[in-house]
């Protein structure tokens, strides 16, 4: 990153006294007296002779160009400035530099700047501000260094602009040098500088203490100061301090604005501080923000995240006018609640609430935007709601958002998670531009569907385009090698990741390597690799080892891995069921008794086995004790037919819920239609074998998303390669 010129660092420079306490208003039009009382009339007469127009007339005209964001009109006024000979007026030309910057024409702004016969600090600062405004912070810092080398003195406004550039670059080193200027000139207690310093340190994550120090040194803290530090607490994952500071602000008599209210409500959502949020809601009504859209959206999201669906819906329905932002907040709130729901049933409920809200949005006459599409496609992914996802796909085409890379990537993920790799491929091919996330999503989709060669070919294509893979990309690549049993090639990619791309392995990378070994029955190599890992294996690693040991008949290693798994999660009922089944199968009755006592001592909840199938916008749920006669009859018939193909079933055993969901889909869905089931727990080996055979008997594609992974059954084969069932 940039650094200050040595000529400045090595010498003590003092601010000019007239600038030392300069306010942040820029440029200051009050410094000139405008003789024209009809600026708009002058503007209408642009084609006339401007020889009699005073130079001060141009400044308000240029300000109108900023308000209208009109580059064309700015250029017209510029031409008249030259025609009238006013280009020697520094104040007018500084305003022109400023306006070109605000209109996004930095090349024109710099040309004007370069042609000036003289410059002051306001002119320099105006150019820097333009570059920061147009997301070119590096150039702004370069201009700042040039200014210092010419001997010009920065004002506090100049320093604020450069601190904003440092914030954009997350350049902590240079920002600290600018902070040194601030301290040297005694400006730390100045409100605008203190606010900017606080914002800079908050953006450089991990420097909350420095942000706090800058905040407390401000002599007169305004609502912007408090908003900045409260937001900094949120950015640095310290919501408790943010809420405390908000109460301090109220004690100091500072009235909140919409920005700090939304920040505080966001903190409440993070830690689900519903009671505190309710007080903020009351306060917002008291001070007149009852109808403020950002505040209302934040309150709704807090209610959603706290599980208060009725309150959120009541607040939403009570709005006189609902903007697209509010609709999006409701949809995104339900979508995000799916990710943090305690169980699959609650997640499903949130998902269908999001879909229902999306339908109401369409009926309202407002058009969805890319945020709407990305949120609702995520919902469709989690619900396996392919039909609804396809409808959203059509709408994205009609509204023109299909060309957006975010929507395109969301479509790839939706089709992948719904088990249709063909749809994912089509969505990927249709994308006009692709990002690293797009490439990674498609590589991962191929890997999850067992299409290893496609995944690796696409990875090579991505590298040829110049996109640099990240750690998530390599998870997809290693998973593809694992599915295909390509251990040597997988290890080559693992080394490439570490040495060529300097990416440190994480648990998912180690998991892929271990999965490679266990699929081939190389259990000793798998356990040896675990022992060489740089950190302790997690549940994912031990579950892979358990699956591999059970599949290859090494019970002793399997018991060891299962007990390790139980140590990590001693209250997971799925793990107890799995381990009990393993001990019963081996006839180790003492271990069975020990485990049952441990379940009692740990107060382990009974395993809740639920499955759902979606048919024509309706959700049908099933438990393991379903008594529907029609379903029972067809299930019995399928069991008998499956036995002839090697399926083993004991008459006294209980059927699990996904069997009922699959059979219901066979009864109620039209022939050849794929059946998509969501299950609250992992599939057991017996159910996995049964659904495989049913997919062959009925010539149906059956997709089951369990608590661990997605299984796509086609013609008697599963995309997981039979390594996805633990119980």
For residue range 3-30, list pLDDT tens digits in order: 454 433 333 333 333 333 333 333 333 3
Asked if pLDDT for residue 45 goes beyond 60, the answer is no
Which residues share a beta bridge with 676? Answer: 703
Q: Which residues of 71-96 are buried (b: 16+ CB within 10 A; e: fewer)?
A: bebbebbbebbeebebbebebbbbbb
- The alpha carbons of the chain give a radius of gyration, in whole angstroms, of 32
- Residue 226's closest CA among 245, 201, 253? 245
Predicted confidence (pLDDT) per residue in 418-450, tens digit: 989 999 999 999 898 899 999 999 999 999 888
Asked if pLDDT for residue 504 goes beyond 80, the answer is yes
CA distances from 707 to 11, 468, 570, 610, 711 (A): 65, 32, 17, 11, 11
CB 295 within 8 A of CB 289: yes
pLDDT for 136: 94
Task: Return the DSSP state at 84.
Answer: T
45-49, 136-140, 167-171, 548-552: the lowest-pLDDT one = 45-49
Residue 338 neighbours by CB under 8 Å, 6+ apart: 347, 350, 351, 354, 379, 382
Predicted confidence (pLDDT) per residue in 564-598, tens digit: 988 888 878 888 888 888 888 888 899 889 888 88
Give the Cα separation of 353 and 15 in Å (integer): 60
Predicted confidence (pLDDT) per residue in 285-316, tens digit: 999 998 888 898 889 888 888 878 788 888 88
What are the tokens at 42? 């002058």
Residue 131 neighbours by CB under 8 Å, 6+ apart: 101, 106, 137, 139, 140, 143, 165
Phi/psi for 678 (5° steps) reads -110, 135
Question: What is the four-CA torsion angle of 80, 81, 83, 89, rounded to 10 degrees?
Answer: 170
Q: Which residues of 102-126 are buried (b: 16+ CB within 10 A; e: fewer)?
A: bbebbebbbebbeebeebebbbbbb
Residue 331 neighbours by CB under 8 Å, 6+ apart: 354, 357, 358, 361, 372, 375, 376, 379
pLDDT band for 607, please (50, 70, 90 cuts).
confident
- Residue 175's closest CA among 153, 190, 160? 160
Sheet of 702-705: strand order equals 618-623, 610-615, 675-679, 702-705, 710-714, 717-718
Predicted confidence (pLDDT) per residue in 72-130, tens digit: 888 888 888 888 888 888 888 998 999 999 999 999 999 999 999 899 999 999 999 99
pLDDT for 8: 38
Predicted confidence (pLDDT) per residue in 452-488, tens digit: 999 999 999 999 999 999 999 999 999 999 988 899 9
Q: Which helix (H) or strand (E) holds 705?
A: strand 702-705
CB 419 within 8 A of CB 384: yes
Predicted confidence (pLDDT) per residue in 628-665, tens digit: 899 999 999 999 999 888 888 777 678 999 999 999 99
Give the Cα separation of 121 and 34 in Å (integer): 23
Give the Cα separation of 558 and 582 in Å (integer): 9
CB 299 within 8 A of CB 269: no
56-70, 97-111, 381-395: the lowest-pLDDT one = 56-70
pLDDT for 55: 61
CA atoms within 13 A on the CB side of 71: 10
pLDDT for 198: 95
pLDDT for 653: 76
pLDDT for 54: 61
User: Is the pTM value of this prediction over 0.85?
Assistant: no
Asked if pLDDT for residue 228 goes beyond 80, the answer is yes
CA distances from 574 to 169, 579, 706, 712 (A): 47, 9, 12, 22
pLDDT for 88: 82
pLDDT for 615: 85
Phi/psi for 726 (5° steps) reads -110, -40
Q: What's the chain's average pLDDT?
A: 86
Give the Cα separation of 337 and 349 in Å (integer): 10
Residue 47 neighbours by CB under 8 Å, 6+ apart: none
Peptide bond into 248 cis (omega under 30): no
- Residue 383's closest CA among 357, 330, 346, 408? 346
Tell me, rounded to whole angstroms, the distance of Cα 535 from its chain centroid: 27
């Amino acid at each position: 990153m940039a650094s200050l010129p040595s000529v400045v660092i090595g010498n003590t420079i003092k601010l000019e006294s007239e600038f030392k306490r300069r306010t942040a208003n820029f440029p200051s039009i009050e410094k000139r007296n405008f003789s024209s009382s009809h600026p708009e009339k002058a503007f209408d007469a642009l084609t006339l002779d401007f020889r009699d127009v005073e130079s001060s007339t141009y400044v308000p005209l240029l300000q109108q160009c900023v308000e209208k964001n009109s580059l064309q009109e700015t250029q017209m006024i510029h031409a008249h400035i030259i025609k009238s000979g006013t280009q020697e007026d520094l104040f007018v030309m500084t305003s022109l530099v400023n306006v070109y910057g605000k209109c996004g024409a930095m090349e024109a702004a710099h040309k004007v700047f370069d042609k000036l016969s003289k410059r002051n600090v306001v002119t320099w600062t105006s150019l820097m501000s333009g570059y920061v405004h147009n997301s070119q912070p590096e150039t702004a810092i370069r201009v700042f260094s040039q200014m210092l080398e010419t001997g010009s003195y920065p004002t506090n406004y100049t320093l604020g602009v450069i601190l904003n550039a440092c914030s954009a670059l997350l350049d902590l080193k240079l920002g600290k040098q600018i902070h040194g200027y601030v301290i040297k000139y005694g400006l730390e207690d100045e409100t605008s500088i203190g606010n900017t310093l606080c914002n800079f340190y908050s953006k450089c994550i991990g420097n909350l203490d420095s942000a706090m120090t800058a905040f407390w040194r401000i002599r007169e803290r305004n609502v912007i100061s408090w908003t900045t530090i409260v937001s900094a607490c949120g950015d640095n994952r310290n919501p408790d301090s943010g809420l405390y500071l908000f109460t301090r602000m109220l004690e100091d008599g500072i009235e909140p604005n919409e920005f700090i209210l939304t920040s505080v409500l966001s903190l409440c959502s993070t830690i689900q501080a519903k009671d505190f949020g309710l007080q903020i809601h009351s306060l917002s009504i008291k001070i007149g923000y009852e109808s403020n859209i950002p505040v209302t959206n934040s309150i709704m999201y807090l209610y959603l995240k706290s599980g208060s669906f009725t309150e959120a819906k009541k607040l939403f329905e009570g709005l006189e006018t609902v903007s697209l932002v509010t609709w999006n907040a409701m949809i995104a709130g339900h979508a995000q609640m799916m990710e943090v729901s305690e169980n699959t049933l609650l997640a499903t409920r949130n998902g269908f609430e999001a879909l229902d809200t999306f339908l109401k949005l369409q009926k309202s006459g407002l058009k969805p935007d890319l945020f709407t599409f990305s949120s609702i496609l995520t919902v469709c992914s989690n619900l396996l709601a392919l039909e609804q996802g396809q409808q959203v796909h059509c709408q994205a085409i009609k509204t023109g958002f299909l060309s957006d890379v975010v929507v395109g990537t969301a479509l790839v993920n939706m089709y992948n998670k719904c088990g249709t790799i063909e749809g994912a491929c089509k969505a990927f091919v249709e994308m006009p531009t692709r990002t690293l996330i797009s490439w990674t999503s498609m590589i991962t989709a191929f890997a999850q569907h067992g299409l290893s060669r496609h995944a690796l070919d696409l990875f090579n294509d991505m590298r040829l385009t110049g996109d640099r893979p990240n750690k998530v990309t390599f998870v997809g690549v290693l998973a593809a090698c694992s599915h295909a049993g390509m251990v040597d090639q997988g290890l080559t990619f693992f080394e490439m990741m570490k040495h060529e791309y300097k990416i440190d392995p994480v648990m998912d990378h180690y998991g892929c390597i271990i999965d490679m070994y266990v699929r081939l029955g190389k259990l000793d190599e798998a356990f040896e690799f675990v022992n060489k890992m740089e950190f302790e294996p997690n549940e994912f690693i031990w579950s892979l080892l358990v699956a591999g040991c059970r599949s290859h008949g090494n019970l002793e290693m399997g018991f060891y891995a299962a007990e390790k798994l139980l140590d990590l999660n001693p209250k997971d009922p799925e793990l107890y069921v799995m381990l009990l089944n393993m001990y019963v199968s081996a006839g180790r009755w003492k271990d069975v008794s020990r485990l049952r006592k441990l379940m009692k001592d740990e107060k382990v909840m009974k395993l809740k086995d639920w499955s759902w199938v979606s048919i024509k916008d309706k959700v049908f749920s099933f438990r393991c004790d379903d008594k529907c006669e029609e379903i029972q009859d067809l299930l019995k018939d399928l069991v008998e037919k499956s036995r002839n193909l090697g399926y083993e079933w004991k008459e006294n055993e209980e059927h699990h819920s996904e069997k009922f969901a699959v059979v219901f889909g066979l009864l109620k869905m039209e022939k050849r239609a794929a059946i998509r089931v969501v299950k609250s727990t992992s599939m057991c080996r017996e159910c996995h074998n049964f659904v495989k055979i049913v997919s062959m008997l009925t010539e149906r594609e059956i997709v089951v998303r369990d608590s661990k992974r997605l299984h796509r059954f086609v013609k008697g084969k599963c995309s997981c390669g039979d390594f996805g069932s633990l119980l």
